[in-house]
Every structure is written in structure tokens, then in C-alpha cells.
A and B are shown apart, each in its own frame.
Chain A
């Protein structure tokens, strides 16, 4: 993925992860694996972890420590009411941006067609 993709993902990854957590609670590795399956191939596990820590600190998720077969307990994250409200806000912002940017795109495509 290019630099542009990295930059754009930076602003949207939080919304993406919150959206994933609406399906069911998950731990960091599951979220990263799911993102990879969905084609977000180059998101580092540590980046997702850092994001989970951030949304935990801001109170958007509840955390439960679940013992694991090997290693330290896994932190399982689930979306809480505040997180759901934040996700609604994310979708509103996202839809607004998509609409505006698509409009710019159409203007540009129309002009190119006229010139060509």
C-alpha cells in the first residue's frame, strides 16, 4: 500500500475498528486478522494494538481480560454505549465526506470528457 493509503487509513482506522466490534467482542489479533482478510493487508498488528489502547483510554470500549493457553491474558474489547455513539458520529462524518468528494470527482470527470 502506498503512502496515500497509509495517510487516509490513519484517519479512518478508528471507525473501521469500532465497526468491526459491533459484530462481536474481539481481541487485537482477531481484529488484525479480520482486517487482513478484508484486504487491509499492511496494517501492522502493533498499530491496531495502539489504537485499541487509545479507544480504551477514551472509554469507547469495555475490556475483559481472558486467560490464554500460553502467554499473558488476552484483552477482549467490546463496544459500549459511548463507543456506539462515537461510531454513529463516524458514519455521519464519513457519509458527508464521501458525498463531497464524489461531487468533486464528478466535476473533474465531466470536464475531462468535455476536453477530450
Chain B
């Protein structure tokens, strides 16, 4: 019981362990991969909008795989990231469709437009004033 209560407050212990493992993997990367990975990691934290710890950990584990592979093959950083690092980071994060903070607002928008569109049906067939 106590463990469960703590986990809801500070996140699951398993996730904490995974996160520490991930951090160590990034720390062990040679330069310039370490530098590139840290910069992208920072951006992913902000931009992914993920609030679901499991999805986030899957994303970071894959992210570490990518950089370890790049370092082993000595693939240039530019060849991994491309010309537009922002684009790259966003494409990467888009692969992980976990819960995001924006989901609640998306649901709210869809519901509000459904309600507004229901008003269309009540008026003329095309939703405009018939006698215009």
C-alpha cells in the first residue's frame, strides 16, 4: 500500500530505474554524440508533451539505441539529425503516441465543435438562413 502511494506521487520505481539506466547510456557516449544526444534530449522533454512515463521511457531507450549505434558506426551527427534538428526531434517524438498533456484540450475541442455542428442540423439543410 505504502509503495503504491509513493509511486503515484513520485512515479514508478521501475521507471526511475529505467531512467537512471538511460542517463548512464547517454553519459557513456563519446563526443560529439554525447553533446548531440543531450541537446536533443532537452528538446524532447519539452516538445514531446508526453505525460505517460512508460511511453517516455520507451522513447528514451530507443533514442539511446540510435546514438549508441551511430557512435559505433561513426556516423556523422549531421547524417543522423539532418539539416533541421527541430524537424528531426519532432518526427522522432511523433512516433510515440502516449498520453500527452494536450489530449484533454483536443477532446474538449472535438466535443465543442460537435456541439456547434449539431446546431447546423437544427437550421436549414445547409446551415444558413433559408430566407436570405
Contact = CB atoms under 8 A, between A and B. Distances in A.
B91 A47 contact: yes
Interface string B59-91: 000100110111111010011111100011001
B95 A44 contact: no
Nearest to B68: A72
Nearest to A57: B95
A49 interface: yes
Q: Chain B interface mostly helix, strand, loop or mixed?
A: helix
Contacts of B79: 44-45
A45 B72 CA distance: 14
A29 interface: yes
A43 B87 CA distance: 12
B97 interface: yes
A35 interface: no
Given A46-B66, A46-B82, A49-B66, A54 B95 contact: yes
A70 B72 contact: yes
Contacts of B82: 42-44, 46-47
B69 A72 contact: yes
A71 B66 contact: no
Contacts of B81: 44, 46
A20 interface: no
A42 B83 contact: yes
Given A44-B80, A72-B68, A50 B91 contact: yes
A49 B64 CA distance: 12
Contacts of A74: 69
A10 B87 CA distance: 11
B24 interface: no
Contact of A71 (B68, B80, B88, B97): B68
Given A44-B88, A47-B82, A47-B88, A71 B71 contact: yes
A32 to B, nearest CB: 8
A76 interface: no
Contact of A46 (B71, B73, B88, B94): B88
The 3 closest A-B pairs by CB, nearest first: A71-B72, A44-B82, A54-B95
